[in-house]
């Protein structure tokens, strides 16, 4: 038994059985002709073949096999029914052409035939009509030229009979691949029994025409309750019963033909009209009902999903209203936030009552409106608009909370506003924290302003004091020079030594004052550099000679390599000389006796190919730690090693050097290893109007 069922499930076996069925149904179709009629009212062979093709789907190879088989089986059926071999062959091709047209129309574009929407039903009706017309035209031509009969009566009669057969049987082919969507119910069995009973009562009796369409209401009942597979089966059974009983002379159509109330040919037309009406009505209602069930299922799924999402937002209030502001939606987040239950506010509370009245009144006065729900949605009169602002809400226990509320309109398909949706989040703590941050920032701002003013006062004070110190100090140095020159008489060696010390420390103090004055100008942005083309080599030579007094009492190895040709830069020669002096004095101060101080000047190209003058001052002294290197150009910074060794200095020299280098669009870099010395490298752009004459390193 199981082996037999498995065999029937094979497509090739099923195709063979269908072709045999086409032969049997076609050969016996003449029995479906009512008494006195020359045309069968139903041609089930056409419906069976097309149903199997539709069940096969868009597979062209299989469809070609079935169509080829239909030529043979339909031709044999017509020959067995009494037609000549040639005419039977013609009819075999005509039946196959009809099936091919319907199959092509239903599977065009590679889609699988289906009846899931009214568009699909319309496609089936058009395909059926096209196939029936093709067969009707071919049949009319065959009988006209091969059997010497009239074209139009035959064409009309067979078109209707084939259309009725296809519409009642072809849906079975579509339903085979359709999944059952409705579980079996006792109501389905009851409806099937009632339809069978009513059909047998009407078409197995001698009742008149008024009762002919009585089965249709029962079929409509099934169409609204059954799935497509069950309804297609009922249509096929209904067609077999109606045509079979009518061909045996029973039922209202056959009785009307016998009594002479209608012509025998009209019996066939009435039967075909009944079958077509039943098929179209039942299928249309079944498709519409299926769409309605699917739409309701989708709507229920979407509603469930939406409700789940709304309730999942436990910390976010989502409130919907109608156009007047009356609450229609109140999610769990709103309940958690405000304390009201959904059933207590939906349909009975206007959401403006959730807001702080004084705040609503203030907003109304600002907009020129009367206090009310319109204040909340002012300007939100079309889709796509929304407004986000902070509002104060009053909870059920009269607690005030600040919420960040976004309101958007809900519009219908005509663009009319039918309600509003508000999404709110409690930002009370955030607002408190924000205000605290703003207050702290304001305090910091005030402190910075005070420190800036204090720093400016300090700068102004240092500048003023420096100016005041410089005048008497210049007088002291002048008198010292006079004493050394013997203006008041010749001095002893001891007196000259004391005067020399006074001069040396006075000049050191004068240098400090000059550094303070220059630093003040740098801080105030008044470092005015008188730039002009100048020879950097000459400046460096002059600075090297000026360091003589610093090294005359030191045991240092001094080296300098300066380009012999002019190295021209656009700069302030006095400021650049100060850079070289500061770097050299630092190298001397931080190098113990026996060490090496080196000064070099050459020209190079940077990574972009630009010509640069390179000044390098290196020493073999104490060096600078990596941590101190990051701060060495900061004002008043003194390295740890300099402090520990009590090396004299103010910490202004390198900051001034960097300011001057930056003012000349140059760069300065320090490379140092603690205990092994330091190297300061300065790059100045060469004068643009003067190209270097020799090669660059």
**Top-ranked range on mean pLDDT: pick from 196-205, 248-257, 454-463, 470-479:** 196-205
Tell which wins on pLDDT, 76 or 206: 76
Q: What's the number of CA atoms in the CB half-sphere (13 Å) around residue 78?
A: 23
Which DSSP string do the residues of 188-211 spell out, in sequence order? HHHHHHHHHHHHHHHHSS---GGG
pLDDT, mean over the chain:
81
Per-residue burial over 676-692, b = 16 or more CB atoms within 10 Å of its CB, e = otherwise = ebbbbebbbbbbeeeeb
User: Does the structure show a pLDDT above 50 at 144?
Assistant: yes
**Top-ranked range on mean pLDDT: pick from 46-55, 452-461, 462-471:** 46-55
Residue 438 pLDDT: 80
Angle at 556 between CA 551 and CA 559, to 5 degrees: 95
Residue 692 pLDDT: 47
For residue 558, the SS3 value is: strand
Residue 96 pLDDT: 93
Tokens of 627: 């941590």
Query: What pLDDT, in 10s, does the model give residues 164-177?
Result: 888 888 888 888 76
For residue 660, the SS3 value is: helix
Residue ranges and CATH numbers for the domains of the chain are 2-293 (no CATH), 314-426 (3.30.450.20), 433-521 (1.10.287), 530-685 (3.30.565.10)
227-248 mean pLDDT: 86
Residue 694 pLDDT: 44
Which DSSP string do the residues of 119-179 spell out, in sequence order? HHHHHHHHHHHHHHHHHHHHHHHHHHHHS---HHHHHHHHHHHHHHHHHHHHHHHHHHTSP
Which DSSP string do the residues of 632-649 spell out, in sequence order? TTSTT---HHHHHTT---
* pLDDT confidence band for 127 (50 / 70 / 90): very high
User: Does the structure show a pLDDT above 50 at 37?
Assistant: no
User: Does the structure show a pLDDT above 60 at 467?
Assistant: no
Residue 459 pLDDT: 60
Q: pTM of the predicted model, to two decimals? A: 0.52
Residue 167 pLDDT: 87
Per-residue burial over 138-164, b = 16 or more CB atoms within 10 Å of its CB, e = otherwise = bbbebbeeeeeeebeebbebbbbbbbb
End-to-end CA distance of the chain: 100
* Contact status, residue 584 vs residue 599, Cβ threshold 8 Å: yes
User: Does the structure show a pLDDT above 90 at 617?
Assistant: yes
Query: For 183-187, 304-308, 463-467, which range has the lowest pLDDT when averaged over its residues?
Result: 463-467
Residue 275 pLDDT: 87
Residue 5 pLDDT: 45
590-598 mean pLDDT: 89
Express as a percent the part of the chain with pLDDT over 90: 12
User: Does the structure show a pLDDT above 70 at 645?
Assistant: no
673-697 mean pLDDT: 73
């Amino acid at each position: 038994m199981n082996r037999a069922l498995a065999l029937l499930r094979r497509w090739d076996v099923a195709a063979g059985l269908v072709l045999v069925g086409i032969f049997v149904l076609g050969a016996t179709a003449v029995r479906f002709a009512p008494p006195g009629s020359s045309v069968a009212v139903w041609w089930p062979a056409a419906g069976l073949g097309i149903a199997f093709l539709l069940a096969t789907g868009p597979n062209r190879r299989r469809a070609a096999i079935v169509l080829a088989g239909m030529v043979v089986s339909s031709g044999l059926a017509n020959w067995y029914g009494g037609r000549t071999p040639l005419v039977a062959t013609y009819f075999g091709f005509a039946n196959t052409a009809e099936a091919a047209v319907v199959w092509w129309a239903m599977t065009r574009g590679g889609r699988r035939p289906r009846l899931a929407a009214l568009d699909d039903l319309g496609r089936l009706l058009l395909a059926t009509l096209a196939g029936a017309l093709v067969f009707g035209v071919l049949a009319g031509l065959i009988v006209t030229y091969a059997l010497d009969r009239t074209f139009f009566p035959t064409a009309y009669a067979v078109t209707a009979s084939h259309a009725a057969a296809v519409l009642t049987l072809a849906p079975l082919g579509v339903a085979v691949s359709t999944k059952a969507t409705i579980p079996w119910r006792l109501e389905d069995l009851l409806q099937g029994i009632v339809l069978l009973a009513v059909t047998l009562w009407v078409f197995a009796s001698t009742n008149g025409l008024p009762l002919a369409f009585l089965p249709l209401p029962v079929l409509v009942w099934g169409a609204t309750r059954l799935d497509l597979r069950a309804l297609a089966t009922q249509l096929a059974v209904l067609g077999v019963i109606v045509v079979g009983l009518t061909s045996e002379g029973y039922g209202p159509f056959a009785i009307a033909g016998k009594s002479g109330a209608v012509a025998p040919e009209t019996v066939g037309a009435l039967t075909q009209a009944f079958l077509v009406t039943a098929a179209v009505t039942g299928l249309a209602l079944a498709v519409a009902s299926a769409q309605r069930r699917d739409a309701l299922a989708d709507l229920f799924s979407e509603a469930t999903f939406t409700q789940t999402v709304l309730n999942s937002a436990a910390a976010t209030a989502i409130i919907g209203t109608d156009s007047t502001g009356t609450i229609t939606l109140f999610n769990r987040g709103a309940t958690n936030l405000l304390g009201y239950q959904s059933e207590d506010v939906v349909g009975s509370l206007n959401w403006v009552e959730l807001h702080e009245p004084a705040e609503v009144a203030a907003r109304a006065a600002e907009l020129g409106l009367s206090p009310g729900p319109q204040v909340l949605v002012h300007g939100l009169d079309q889709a796509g608009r929304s407004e986000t602002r902070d509002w104060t809400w009053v909870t059920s226990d009269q607690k005030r909370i600040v919420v960040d509320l976004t309101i958007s309109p809900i519009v219908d398909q005509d663009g009319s506003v039918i309600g509003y949706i508000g999404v709110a989040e409690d930002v009370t703590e955030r607002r408190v924290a924000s205000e605290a941050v703003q207050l702290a920032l304001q305090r910091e701002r005030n402190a910075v302003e005070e420190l800036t003013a204090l720093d400016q006062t300090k700068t102004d004070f240092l500048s003023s004091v420096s100016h005041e110190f410089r005048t008497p100090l210049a007088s002291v140095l002048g008198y010292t020079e006079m004493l050394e020159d013997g203006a008041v008489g010749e001095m002893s060696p001891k007196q000259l030594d004391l005067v020399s010390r006074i001069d040396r420390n006075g000049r050191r103090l004068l240098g400090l004052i000059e550094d303070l004055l220059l630093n003040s100008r740098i801080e105030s942005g008044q470092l005015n550099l008188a730039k002009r083309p100048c020879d950097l080599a000459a400046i460096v030579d002059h600075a090297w000679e000026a360091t003589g007094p610093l090294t005359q009492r030191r045991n240092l190895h001094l080296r300098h390599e300066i380009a012999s040709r002019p190295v021209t830069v656009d700069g302030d020669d006095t400021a650049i000389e100060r850079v070289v002096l500061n770097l050299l004095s630092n190298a001397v101060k931080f190098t113990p006796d026996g060490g090496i101080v080196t000064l070099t000047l050459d020209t190079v190209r940077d990574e972009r190919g630009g010509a640069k003058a390179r000044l390098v001052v290196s020493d073999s002294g104490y060096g600078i730690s990596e941590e101190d290197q990051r701060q060495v150009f900061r004002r008043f910074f003194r390295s740890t090693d300099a402090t520990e060794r009590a090396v004299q200095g103010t910490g202004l020299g390198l900051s001034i050097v960097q300011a001057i280098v930056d003012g000349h669009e140059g760069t300065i870099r320090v490379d140092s290893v603690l205990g092994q010395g330091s190297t300061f490298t300065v790059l100045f752009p060469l004068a643009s109007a003067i190209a270097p004459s020799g090669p660059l390193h």
